[in-house]
Structure 1
């Protein structure tokens, strides 16, 4: 089963930003094709505007990773999507959340693991442990890490290049109280890492099916310890920053419950309360966009709810 999951994820990485522009059933989608960067390779950015978007109103902003998987299953490698436009528009039009736009940042394809793996915890591994990670493979034809970890540069791209563009071209509230970040699996890792590295930029992070192992090794894996140590030292004080975690129990998510329990203990020890931190378990849920779509309303309500 694990081999099947790894091969499936490999296919996901191979089919990335070449897809046609997604169609949405609610709101409007604007594509910034091959958005340039001095820090990372250029990639598409898809901006979703809610129904009745107006320059006369100010909106919160949700940055989401794996942007090519968010809106239209007919353009994705597995014919699945997060259904962001449907779920977000329903919550906005019913007044359950504050109005917001979504900035869907396409992943780096084969570089995805190198972009999304939190860099400081990786550098805290021993030299031997880092070298071992670079030898691991997703499949016979593809390494786990296509190059050295560069997630700090990916975050600089978001904070120093993409966010200023969004702030200048759209009617948005620019402070951390209205700026959030979300992702799943490796995108869950980079989301909490972004909050910890840039607490004055992001006011909340949602991490679905967070890939706490960091690799696909279940035994003698030093990575979760490094994540916990970093989070203990670097997560912002539990005042106004919000953190959402969740996990399923099937396919790759079956690895997560004991690791998420350790994170939950840490969050409690750090003083995070129910108002600022939430962890949800979804029995029978697998590691798929279909499953994330079914529960997307939970993190949206937690981060953006009225």
Structure 2
């Protein structure tokens, strides 16, 4: 049996210098290959002092799955770029950005760069150096807010690569329904990932996101997304913060691991 470990590594993030990536590997049998969840906002996943609302406590969630007899999972967290976070986690190709007043003055959508970093730098490094499964079924992607938008985008863009998407409080409201419809109609395949969408409704931002999540949930089947591959969870009292995402992450993780 190999003990659990939390690693960090700095990998080259295009012309932006190096970016820290966290890799948590739970206790596992030697030569065992574990499912893997790639996640945004790596600094908020493990460090309880990272935000005023604490961390996601992903290690506890993984340990609880193991205690309950399911497989563990490797968690790969990619740090955000702080003031550049929204820019890095918002794709340009979907359409014209809406509600720019919610974004900072330096915002420029660059999500395609993050997606390239994930797929062509982070994933190859992880698969070469850690005991992760390299089949589609064993891979998931997850994030919140702009990170939820980015996880949805990468999951749809690479539907043959990821089997599960966790889109928590996703910033779908950055684009119009018409732009989403055009984008999605060009992305549907016969093998779309299972989509786990979560949202709260407990503060002003989450209320705005809730409306766009409801619209997206109606739009997805219209564009061909299989209805039986979608799950929407709404916790109306929850606000837009790590406390809420910490609360829902164990259910997403359990759903993913239960379907392996």
Question: Normalization by structure 2: what TM-score?
Answer: 0.89
Match of 1:282 among 225, 229, 235: 235
Contact 1:228 1:263 in 2 (8 A): no
Q: 1:27 to 1:154 in 2, by over 3 A?
A: same
User: C-alpha displacement at 1:144, in angstroms?
Assistant: 5.5
TM alignment of 1:127-166, pairs within 5 A: 133=100, 136=101, 138=103, 142-143=104-105, 145=107, 148-166=108-126
Q: Distance in 1 between matches of 2:18 and 2:33?
A: 28
Q: 1:80 to 1:108 in 2, by over 3 A?
A: same
Contact 1:30 1:46 in 2 (8 A): yes
Corresponding residue for residue 195 of structure 2: 243
Matched, 1:80 2:32: no
Secondary structure of 1:284's aligned partner: coil
User: C-alpha displacement at 1:257, in angstroms?
Assistant: 2.7
User: C-alpha displacement at 1:119, in angstroms?
Assistant: 2.2
Match of 1:70 among 45, 52, 55: 45
Greater gyration radius: 1
Contact 2:169 2:209 in 1 (8 A): yes
Corresponding residue for residue 29 of structure 1: 6
Q: Superposition RMSD on alpha carbons, in Å?
A: 2.2
User: C-alpha displacement at 1:223, in angstroms?
Assistant: 3.5
User: C-alpha displacement at 1:302, in angstroms?
Assistant: 2.2
Match of 1:118 among 91, 97, 108: 91
Deviations 1:206-248 (A, max 9, x none): 100112222xxxxxxx5443234312331443x4621110100
Contact 2:172 2:216 in 1 (8 A): no
Secondary structure of 1:301's aligned partner: helix
Corresponding residue for residue 206 of structure 2: 253
Instruction: Mark the runs of 5 or more structure 2 residues left unpaired by the alignment.
Output: none
Q: Distance in 2 between matches of 1:144 and 1:227?
A: 24
Question: Normalization by structure 1: what TM-score?
Answer: 0.76
Q: Distance in 1 between matches of 2:242 and 2:210?
A: 19
Secondary structure of 2:173's aligned partner: coil
Deviations 1:54-84 (A, max 9, x none): 441011110010000011212x132511110
Q: 1:236 to 1:67 in 2, by over 3 A?
A: farther
Contact 1:197 1:234 in 2 (8 A): yes
Matched, 1:60 2:42: no
Corresponding residue for residue 170 of structure 1: 130
Secondary structure of 1:59's aligned partner: coil
Q: 1:212 to 1:174 in 2, by over 3 A?
A: same
Q: 1:78 to 1:144 in 2, by over 3 A?
A: farther
Q: Which consecutive aligned stretches of 4+ in structure 1 deviate over 6 angstroms post-superposition?
A: none
Deviations 1:122-167 (A, max 9, x none): xx33xxx78x94xx474xxx5150xx32211111111111111111
